């Protein structure tokens, strides 16, 4: 039995709130693979442009720490 089959068997054994929680997580995971979350051609071009910069500049560590905590 493969991992998918094992998981399905496990999931089918869940009941009540545990099953609802798993279903919610699976729904979110499946949605994350939708085309809606893919980069647009413009975004991909911008990423390529930035990655090709010969001397990239980055935010100072203090700025990052202040922003992200």
2 within domain boundaries = no
Query: 12-29 burial, b for 16+ CB within 10 Å, e for fewer?
Result: eeeeeeeeeeeeeeeeee
Does any domain span residue 16? yes
Q: Does residue 46 lie within any of the structural domains?
A: yes
- Rounded Cα distance between 16 and 21, Å, is 9
Give domain status of residue 45, yes or no: yes
> pLDDT-based confidence at 55, cuts 50/70/90?
confident
Q: How many CA atoms lie within 13 Å of 8's alpha carbon, on the beta-carbon side?
A: 5
Answer yes or no: is 14 within a domain: yes
Which pTM does this prediction carry?
0.53
The total number of structural domains in the chain stands at 1
Question: 21: domain range?
Answer: 10-51
Closest CA to 24 of 37, 14, 38: 14
What tens digit of pLDDT does each residue of 29-45 get? Answer: 999 999 888 999 999 99
Do residues 39 and 47 lie in contact, with contact meaning Cβ atoms separated by under 8 Å?
A: yes
Asked if residue 26 belongs to a domain, the reply is: yes
Would 20 be classed as within a structural domain?
yes
């Amino acid at each position: 039995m493969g991992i998918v089959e094992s998981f399905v068997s496990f999931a089918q054994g869940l009941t009540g709130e545990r099953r609802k929680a798993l279903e919610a997580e699976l729904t979110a995971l499946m949605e994350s693979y939708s085309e809606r979350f893919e980069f647009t051609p413009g975004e991909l071009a911008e990423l390529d442009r930035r990655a090709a910069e010969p001397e990239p500049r980055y935010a100072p560590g203090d700025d990052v720490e202040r922003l992200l905590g």
